Amino acid sequence: MSALSLKERMADIDPVITKLVASTGAARDAFNRHSRSSVEEMLNLSRTAAQEIEAAFKKMEKEKTQDPEWQRLCGIYKHLQIMSQSLGALADPIQKKIKDAVLFSDKAVSQTNYLFDTQAGILRSVLDIFKTDNDFLKRYTETEARNLIQACSNFATEHETRLIEGVCLPQAAPIFLALLENIRIIGQQERDIVKLLA
């Protein structure tokens, strides 16, 4: 596999990341609007991305080599696979929020939207890194991913305080924490992809 293989593979990688960005947007809409159709859209996008990743793995298996470039590309696809699974896993807590008409505090809504927006932005930056190989963008994106992971932890702690103070409803807690956990996992994969590209 040549040194240009990552750029050569953009035809396969670009649509996967684009679907993950769109899935994040659908998750945000489903969360805010209690939209079952947005949940379905999110699931369809994450499933299609997962199928495309699986197809890429099969294609790469035929070209298996000890070349570090091949191994790096495999690592990237593994992280993308975990991301697509974690995006799909957002469906359960969002569907529970919709089904039970669970209300979140204004702060929790604001924090969740911040996470969705930041996560989608990081994914777009990852896509740009594939295209430009820009070192500044790599450092920026890795910092953003680290900040996202830390924000998930901080928001969980703040949520506990709101629960104690009675600002948040107890039935919102498991939903909010499940959202935080899956977005944290996605952030970790984004950070690790940037490290592979560094």
Map out the domains of the chain as residue ranges: 5-197
pLDDT of residue 4: 42
169-174 long-range Cβ contacts below 8 angstroms, 24+ apart? 169/102, 169/103, 171/100, 171/102, 172/97, 172/102, 172/103, 172/104, 172/105, 172/108, 174/93
pLDDT surpassing 70 at residue 1: no
Phi and psi at 128, nearest 5°, equal: -65, -35
Name which of 153, 35, 159 is nearest 98 in CA terms. 35
Classify 118 as helix, strand or coil.
helix
pLDDT tens-digit profile of 100-137?
Answer: 999 998 999 999 999 999 999 999 999 999 888 899 99
Tokens of 61: 């298996």
- In tens, the pLDDT along 24-34 reads 999 999 999 99
**How far apart are alpha carbons 129 and 106 in whole angstroms?**
34
Mean pLDDT rounded to a whole number for the chain? 91
- The class that CATH gives domain 5-197 is mainly alpha
Give Cβ neighbours of residue 12 (< 8 Å, ≥ 6 apart): 52, 56, 59
Q: Is 4 helix (H, G, I), strand (E, B) or coil?
A: coil
- pLDDT beyond 80 at 160: yes
**Cα–Cα distance measured from residue 114 to residue 48, given in angstroms and rounded to the nearest whole number:** 25
Each residue's pLDDT tens digit, 32-51: 999 999 999 999 999 999 99
